[in-house]
Structure 1
Amino acid sequence: MKSRKDSEDLTRVGPDTVMGNFMRQYWIPAAQSSELEADGTPMRLMLLGEKLIAFRDTHGRVGVMDHMCPHRNASLFLGRNEEGGIRCIYHGWKFDVEGRCVDMPSIPPAQCFKDKVKAGAYRVAERNGIIWVYMGPRQEAPPPLPQVEATLLPEGEVDISFMMRSCNWMQALEGDIDTSHFGFLHVGHLDPEDVPPGHPLEHTASERAPQYHVRDTPWGTNYGAYRTVRPQTTYWRFANYMYPFWTQTPQGDFPVNIQARAWVPLDDHHTMMIFWRRRVPNLRNTNEPLRHGQPLGGSRPQPDFHPRGTGWLDRWRVVADETNDWLIDREAQRTNRIYSGIDHIGLQDQAVTESMGPITDHGREHLGPGDLMIARTRRRALQAARAFAETGQAPGVEQPEVMMGARSGYFEAPDTVEWQAAYDEQMRHAERATVPAPASAPAPALAMAK
């Protein structure tokens, strides 16, 4: 970053910050629908540095609002979720999912002024098992929901996982747009001789210093990392950053790899990673057995999570963290059974990004050619946020279909094909998720389309 102000504008997300105001123009995935039950316990929810509560009312509608009652600031997290609204336990004032005060039992009827009181509430939508929150100013006519392709898949066709990370959103996100680290952090212990031909890790194991092409796109930034793998053949890995906090990684065959991650800032120092990945029968992935059937070291399927708590940051917390050195196994590291010594690919990323501190000091970095996508993405995100501050225009908000131009994955192509042409050719033959019908029409079941 060129200056400390650049870094602060990029990383700070609270109200009235450059990046925070920018992110509030977009719908934000906030929770799984299954986390809230009708008339069930309210949930503390932190988003963009704001302390909120979420609850599902008697009729199944979700409310997301400021946790402080507008009467005397007592927390509505303590409230009674009952009969179509949430009632503050201090004086019994009750609010519906839109924040309207619907009952003031502590006030004599002749003096009731409930029509003049409103809790700060945000617009909410649900789609395919995810609760989305719009925190921007357009409460009467919010923008359409995003068309990040993986989020369009119905629940039965996609796996969705959550994991909180204790660091800033941008440094968490950057691991997804840095393909060269894969050959070290995740598979540095892998002997190329152990990788059978056609394995997804064949080329990553044999050439750990890829070269990059990077470009600006309508959705953000796009890279093509390339390696020459045989005469006249190039192995490509494409990935994307999409406004304001989305990524797509190249871990899958390009034509069928419908996946995305949202790196949702809870506050400046904590991020919720939400991962959508299409279920594909016999999908090739990096966990495929190596020669002689042995598994890849360090590829434990799932991390361990703490039980869900009720605090602002008590959802989807992994057990491995700085207090226990991310459960690093030094013996596995010394013997090269696991390059990092950490037995889970996601935890490996978690450890290195959290080890940088809550917000990394960009002034101490020495970026190289392999960091071109990271540098471009930082600049692109910062430019878009500052442009919004000046013009009020946020890319992809009014034209969410531009996000459908983004796809990630790997493939081989003749070395005579220019990199963007290779990407476009793969897109023409990729399987696509269908876009939902407009809200005014009945929503059909989503299906895959060629």
Structure 2
Amino acid sequence: MLTTEDNQLLTRVGPGTPMGELMRQYWVPALLSSELPDSDSDPVRLMLLGEKLVAFRDTSGRVGLLRHLCPHRGAPLFLGRNEENGLRCVYHGWKFDVTGKCVDMPNEPPESDFKKKIKPAGYPCVEKGGVVWAYLGPRAEPPPLPALEALDTPEEERLILPLMVNCNWLQIVEGGLDTVHVSFLHAGHIRPEDAPPGSFLEHITRDRTLRYKVCDTDYGYICGAYRPVGDDHYYWRIAQFLFPFYAMVPTGVLGAKVETLMTVPLDDHHTMQYAVLKKGTGTYIAPGQTVGLLLDQTPLLPNSTDWLGRFRSTKNAGNDYLIDREAQRRGDSFTGITGFVHEDLAMTEQMDPILDRSIEHLGTTDMAVIRLRRRLIAATKALAENGTTPPGVDDPSVYQQRAGGVVLPKDADWMEATEELRRAEVSHPELDLTISGGA
């Protein structure tokens, strides 16, 4: 159970908050490159870490991210003209380049040097892996980007699935690392005899509890959750948390799956989650299925120009996620909600926008959630009180990790036995992806 003070520390992300300042030490995914499709295309409104911002692609193809109000009289830059390598406010004609520098002030007389006195109000942006990254932090020279394998995957092999979630970022990350819920929320209706023999799915339905081992790392932590397989082996579900908001969840086969979940706070009550994965590596996929089932092939609402109008599912709280109570009663589904992602969505959103964690009663299978909170609290307080740089900021190589499932002998050292399988950029053609059975 968290104190109210610690709960606020973990969940509040706006400028000046301890967690918001920790996240501003890192590059932050701001939007997809495809949301700014062409030079001089329409600007995009977006929220990011509690700030209202406007993104645009200039005539030369560079991306700018500006505070949304013109520094002259506070007019909305979203309604400005994107032209000739700058965004021009239509109120008085002030024009800003991608750095936020004022490059034209046509309402001032020619001899005026006033534009040189306007402090730039933009954030550095770079593009990598189909994502526009922004640095909202204090350094004059930003740190390196994280070396996430999924984002380094060639474009033709990479898939990015964005989804708006209407709740605080932390309960989403906690849900991804809470591996025991899979046996109930996603597979509670499946009998072990109905799963492929010897598969991971059989293991999680035959024994629905777990035991945990968690180790801190220089990028966050690694969690191994295990259950018996016969008399001599354990099935391990190995997950990774990587600062400040990345998770590699234990679905699929360890050593083959290439995926990262990027859970980006827009504000305290709304989050954009990007699932970035390499196609064909077994993520959420049973034999014969397609990756579209990650979102149950549920269409998204058309993006609007609202601050929170991007990548919203048509299956949502307003229609109770299209829950089918008859399917739930028949046992066709444990939840009556189709799609793993939407089952998770229903749980995290309906906890309330920010969960009051003082009501919780955590048990032994909540170890991963407990360790996540402790790591975040410690890093946030170390930054606020001592100026300690958070984990991973200056060393992109520590993000070269993988997660997934594996069966090991009971007497094996799980960290030592999986070291090579957890290493990114290593090929393991000998692995059988069908062993997951869809787990």
TM bracket (short chain): over 0.9
What's the counterpart of residue 148 of structure 2?
148
What number of residue pairs does the alignment pair up?
A: 424
Q: Is the 8 A contact 1:46 1:312 kept in 2?
A: yes
Cα deviation code 1:121-149 (max 9, x no counterpart): 101000121100000011x3110111122
| CA separation of 1:148 and 1:284: change in aligned 2, threshold 3 A | closer
SS of the equivalent of 1:427 reads coil
What's the counterpart of residue 216 of structure 1?
216
What's the counterpart of residue 245 of structure 2?
245
1:416 aligns with 2:415: no
1:57 aligns with 2:53: no
Structure 1 unaligned blocks of 5 or more: 434-450
| CA separation of 1:106 and 1:428: change in aligned 2, threshold 3 A | closer
SS of the equivalent of 2:69 reads coil
Task: Write the letter of the residue equivalent to 1:382.
Answer: I
| CA separation of 1:403 and 1:299: change in aligned 2, threshold 3 A | closer
| CA separation of 1:59 and 1:286: change in aligned 2, threshold 3 A | closer
* Residue among 395, 420, 435 paired with 1:399: 395
Which shows bigger deviation, 302-311 or 352-361? 302-311
C-alpha distance in 1, partners of 2:345/2:18? Answer: 26
SS of the equivalent of 2:164 reads strand
| CA separation of 1:119 and 1:354: change in aligned 2, threshold 3 A | same
SS of the equivalent of 1:114 reads helix
1:269 aligns with 2:264: no
C-alpha distance in 2, partners of 1:366/1:422? Answer: 34
Which structure 1 residue ranges, 4+ long, deviate > 6 Å from structure 2? Answer: none
1:344-355 pair list within 5 angstroms: 344-355=339-350
1:161-310 pair list within 5 angstroms: 161-280=161-280, 283-284=281-282, 286-288=284-286, 301-310=296-305
What's the counterpart of residue 4 of structure 2?
4
| CA separation of 1:428 and 1:129: change in aligned 2, threshold 3 A | closer
What's the counterpart of residue 330 of structure 2?
335
**RMSD over equivalenced CA pairs, Å:** 1.9
| CA separation of 1:53 and 1:38: change in aligned 2, threshold 3 A | same
What is the TM-score of this pair, normalised by structure 1?
A: 0.91
Cα deviation code 1:391-439 (max 9, x no counterpart): 32121111121222x3211111111112222222533697269xxxxxx
What's the counterpart of residue 431 of structure 2?
none
Q: Is the 8 A contact 2:255 2:423 kept in 1?
A: no
What's the counterpart of residue 109 of structure 2?
108
Q: Is the 8 A contact 1:224 1:238 kept in 2?
A: yes
| CA separation of 1:284 and 1:136: change in aligned 2, threshold 3 A | closer
* Residue among 371, 380, 383 paired with 1:385: 380
Q: Is the 8 A contact 2:257 2:283 kept in 1?
A: no
| CA separation of 1:157 and 1:198: change in aligned 2, threshold 3 A | farther
Structure 2 unaligned blocks of 5 or more: 429-439
What's the counterpart of residue 369 of structure 1?
364
Q: Is the 8 A contact 1:147 1:401 kept in 2?
A: yes
| CA separation of 1:430 and 1:92: change in aligned 2, threshold 3 A | closer
| CA separation of 1:284 and 1:49: change in aligned 2, threshold 3 A | closer
Give the share of equivalent positions with the same residue, in percent. 49
What's the counterpart of residue 309 of structure 2?
314
Q: Is the 8 A contact 2:149 2:425 kept in 1?
A: no
What's the counterpart of residue 133 of structure 1?
134
- Compute the displacement of 1:299 (Å): 7.2
